[in-house]
Amino acid sequence: MEAVASPCVSRCRLDPGTGRCVGCLRTADEIAAWGSLDAAGQRAVWSALARRRGESGAGLPPGLRFIERDWLSANQILGIEGNEAIVVDTGYVKHAAQTVELVRAALIDSAGDLLGDAPAVRLAGIVNTHLHSDHCGGNAALARAFDCPITIPAASAADVAAWDRVALTHATTGQRCERFSHSATLAPGDRLRLGGLDWQVLAAPGHDPKSLVFHCEREALLISADALWEQGFGVLFPELDGEPGFAGQQAALELISALPVQRVLPGHGRAFDDVQGALARAFARLDAMRSDPRRHARHALKVLVKFLLLDLERVEVDRMRETLRGASVMQRTAALIGMDFAAALAWATGELVEQGQLRRDGNWLLDA
């Protein structure tokens, strides 16, 4: 029997309000007891954590489970029908073992069976909204752990088959992902069966021209990936590559506005019901970016540097540029801002330190 992965994600700070660690959501007691628990006890903690991460998804139809992660790892949505489940998106590779435990816990919970470690509901498939590293980084680990096939956006099929790390944006952003293979694809216009419900597969360009979102008309639910969050949306990567992205994001937001949606299950952050409010904020942010593309580029560079530090946790300032040698998207973003790469990195890290997102310790830059 393999060891149970620790829930710790190296963001160890107790939130006095909830009494839980902000990173792993364990209580101080659960953290203290972890090392002395047997595998069954540790899995019981994982079960509690999967439920805590699903709190904003309370009241979803019975076949759906929402698992809220963080910025480094995208959220999971589990759809259960009979004794089979499908998971949408799998987080970042660094958290792959934790994603496996969260999905396993949700499968066991769904079966109403808290005993034993053979889930009565089996994971029958993985579906990705898009293939940014924070959405497909657990694909390989989950496929191994649960022996299940992977379905990806059809537009990314050739990139995955060739494992083209540039086209997949993993290399161009300094991000990591374990290689996986797919066995099926989804395209706009397709139907997806998830959690006993029918979902329409729709294109949501802007953040990623190949991204899909899933809409369930009957329940007025939207799985929005990074096209719409409660506060904004993901960086518009095409714009950083010299391709139009603002128009794609406008189209994605207009598409969502025209759909019956009462609840959004986003790629990052909690599930939310104030869809009109989120759309209004997203349209306003998009207008501001479009009227000043440098503003978007500055925002994007800060997002990418923060993401890098969430992954690496610490990096020597002098070696950061070397680490990012192949990160052409970040280099082009610096050019859009009107700085050379070294100056742009210094500017972005300075801003992030000032905002408390990063810490400087001598020659080291650390995640905060």
Residues making contact with Zn ion (CB under 5 A): 132, 226, 234
Please calculate the CA angle 165-169-171 and round it to the nearest 5 degrees: 55
Q: Which residue is nearest to Zn ion (CB)?
A: 132
CA 169 to chain CA centroid, Å, is 15
- The least CB distance from residue 191 to Zn ion, in Å, is 23
| Encoded tokens for 142 | 């989950």
- The least CB distance from residue 205 to Zn ion, in Å, is 12
- The least CB distance from residue 268 to Zn ion, in Å, is 9
- The least CB distance from residue 74 to Zn ion, in Å, is 7
- In angstroms, the Cα distances linking 53 to 4, 19, 105, 250, 308 are 18, 15, 11, 31, 24
Paired residues of 263 in beta bridges: 221
* CB nearer Zn ion, residue 92 or residue 272: 92
Query: In angstroms, rounded to a whole number, what is the distance separating the alpha carbons of residues 265 and 286?
Result: 21
- The least CB distance from residue 287 to Zn ion, in Å, is 21
* CB nearer Zn ion, residue 98 or residue 173: 173
CB-based burial label for 354 (10 Å; 0-12, 13-18, 19+): exposed
| Encoded tokens for 286 | 């998009």
- The least CB distance from residue 167 to Zn ion, in Å, is 14
* CB nearer Zn ion, residue 208 or residue 219: 208
* CB nearer Zn ion, residue 70 or residue 109: 70
Say whether 143 sits in a helix, a strand or coil.
helix
* CB nearer Zn ion, residue 26 or residue 268: 268
Long-range contacts of 16-22 (CB under 8 A, 24+ apart): 20/52
User: Measured in Å, how far apart are the chain's first and last C-alpha atoms?
Assistant: 35
Query: In angstroms, rounded to a whole number, what is the distance separating the alpha carbons of residues 213 and 200?
Result: 8
CB 39 within 8 A of CB 26: no
- The least CB distance from residue 233 to Zn ion, in Å, is 10
